[in-house]
Structure 1
């Protein structure tokens, strides 16, 4: 297997966690005789500092010439005075648009070893395994017109406009991915909207319903977003694949960090475009950058998604996920998931090495079994 991976480590803790994810991918490549090529490029605040723009053309070229893009995190408070289109985050929105991925996959898994990290009772989170499928290129984040009239003397003291817009085709393409993924899991799809008040959501619901006959083995239910926010905390085991529009998916998938115990545990993949884009859900956390406190597990689990969705290496992806579970079960914790157990706290680099060792042991056992 040959795979070209663009590495956009970004800002804050991005380079630290991405480094650990790349180490894991290299271990998989070496063990399996694969040829993974890693090419680094600038995105976000580091790109503004070096190139004067959050997304240089060189980065675009490298990304489009790759089989997958692995991103760390984007954002730095020192750029907050810039206009929104020049801030680090605008580079992230631009690269998403350029790569064309419209389906953002965000798994939320309740790890037994972290049951005490969630404020939810263990009996509520036990066995939870949810896959959010978030539409990523439409809705309020991209709809036009959008504007902000800052003139305080204007009627009403100024005005700001954002537009939520969807076409049927945009809903169809992301819904089909959700249906197909549900077919590979527990065959249940929950579609989230606000159809009682929003025309966009009425279109969304009608479109999802129109596709049900193409997937007769999938059970489909609809939830209003406010009800879903409550049910996600009360009965998360009721959900398997959750399909949402852009804004609702952003909020709900972040909320699901309560289930896992930390946003630092959440990976994501954006698929459906020219090149798949992979990134942990957490932000750049500039306040802890360089301190060794960052949790690399979200990035490492994101590396597993690279193997699953861009390399079709399902067994290797499962091996990485099992290694993460093994390390957590052994009691190792980064600061965000330590829950006061300081003696169990390890640094970003140490956690990466622990997962690497667990993965290597798993690979050795597997190779020994194949040799028998």
Structure 2
């Protein structure tokens, strides 16, 4: 029996609800395939602030360091409480330091439109059928980590005004490594890579193109093209099927992956993996903590469950187990199970717990 140590960060609001369903599915995987998953919970985000007065305690970092992978629920609070000490700076104090501490530079966000959900897309089925793309977002550098500040300057009409700035910084190595990852992944898929930047007005965008161009020559079996981010934003809606592997910067990847998830009308279907060069990974859904539906059984656990499937494949090298989870999700969706975010008007929705239970049961049957 193979044993794997998983540190679980349940997160805030709907986080504990959906993490519980991912654990339920992993326990079904363990039973079917003879593996052992050892879970250790630790606190981060608002839950950690309540317990320790800080968003990322040293004990949580230590728990993550001792694990084979981290399964993370969403952090954060209501938009109306953004200035409350519990929520103020939670991303800068918890999420970004986690990424930086473990050098989680490679963020993978698969966007797949299952046939069972074609009718949910805001686009006509003929535009989205067969969509299967993988967005690689550089996660440990860029504008979210660059120098930032605020100062008072003299404005018009003899008025003193505030001026703030963020800075996007990238070095060659940071771009090179994610580019090579993208080409290697493209070799396992449809052998096409699209680089997305803004090279016509941004120095960093031009820099990305300059660095990636010679790397493309190392992978002659992969076709590469380039799009400005504004054109790519439109192309994701007009013709999403044209994309295979996308490589882009931190902020552009953040925005484009949420846009692409909108092809399914719900962020509740969006899993993600964040990896370092050693293969250590943090796995989480791309959506937030959804305070408005917390505790009501309305949250969609599928993004969390599919993130767990990515963990099985990428950190634990268990492709059969990962595929079983993915097939189980497809089976449950094809049978008509829908959480409220996926349900059509008048359609009966299942609860968070019911969706998780059905997927766990399907793991044994697919």
**Structure 2-normalised TM-score?**
0.95
Counterpart for residue 187 of structure 2: 183
Q: Deviations over 1:18-39 (max 9, x none)?
A: 1100111111112212121110
* Correspondent of 1:143 among 128, 146, 155: 146
Counterpart for residue 120 of structure 1: 123
Counterpart for residue 369 of structure 1: none
Deviation at 1:261, TM superposition (A): 2.6
Counterpart for residue 367 of structure 1: none
Deviation at 1:213, TM superposition (A): 1.6
- The answer as to whether partners of 1:108 and 1:130 remain within 8 angstroms in 2 is yes
Q: Residues 166 and 156 (structure 1 numbering): CA distance in 2 closer, same or farther, change over 3 Å?
A: farther
Are 2:346 and 1:329 aligned? no
> What's the RMSD between the two structures over aligned residues?
1.8
- The answer as to whether partners of 2:9 and 2:43 remain within 8 angstroms in 1 is yes
- The answer as to whether partners of 1:117 and 1:337 remain within 8 angstroms in 2 is yes
Deviation at 1:273, TM superposition (A): 4.6
CA distance in 2 between counterparts of 1:72 and 1:195 reads 35
Are 2:217 and 1:213 aligned? yes
Q: Residues 298 and 152 (structure 1 numbering): CA distance in 2 closer, same or farther, change over 3 Å?
A: farther
Matches within 5 A, 1:51-70: 51-70=52-71
Counterpart for residue 323 of structure 2: 318
Are 2:267 and 1:263 aligned? yes
Unaligned runs of at least 5 residues, structure 1: 363-372
Counterpart for residue 357 of structure 2: 353
CA distance in 2 between counterparts of 1:152 and 1:102 reads 39
Counterpart for residue 15 of structure 2: 14
- The answer as to whether partners of 1:115 and 1:261 remain within 8 angstroms in 2 is no
Counterpart for residue 96 of structure 1: 99
Unaligned runs of at least 5 residues, structure 2: none
CA distance in 2 between counterparts of 1:107 and 1:9 reads 22
Report the secondary structure of 1:95's partner residue: helix
Deviation at 1:156, TM superposition (A): 5.9
Q: Residues 285 and 338 (structure 1 numbering): CA distance in 2 closer, same or farther, change over 3 Å?
A: same
Deviation at 1:84, TM superposition (A): 10
Counterpart for residue 39 of structure 1: 40
- The answer as to whether partners of 1:63 and 1:69 remain within 8 angstroms in 2 is yes
CA distance in 1 between counterparts of 2:129 and 2:150 reads 45
Q: Compare the two structures and name the one with the higher helix fraction.
A: 1
Q: Deviations over 1:1-26 (max 9, x none)?
A: 22111100110111000110011111
Counterpart for residue 370 of structure 1: none
- The answer as to whether partners of 2:82 and 2:88 remain within 8 angstroms in 1 is no
CA distance in 2 between counterparts of 1:249 and 1:270 reads 13
CA distance in 2 between counterparts of 1:284 and 1:226 reads 28
Counterpart for residue 157 of structure 1: 161
Are 2:280 and 1:278 aligned? no
Deviation at 1:342, TM superposition (A): 2.9
Report the secondary structure of 2:365's partner residue: helix
CA distance in 2 between counterparts of 1:134 and 1:155 reads 41
- The answer as to whether partners of 2:152 and 2:160 remain within 8 angstroms in 1 is no
- The answer as to whether partners of 2:109 and 2:134 remain within 8 angstroms in 1 is yes
- The answer as to whether partners of 2:298 and 2:352 remain within 8 angstroms in 1 is yes
- The answer as to whether partners of 2:285 and 2:307 remain within 8 angstroms in 1 is yes
- The answer as to whether partners of 1:269 and 1:279 remain within 8 angstroms in 2 is yes
- The answer as to whether partners of 1:79 and 1:87 remain within 8 angstroms in 2 is no
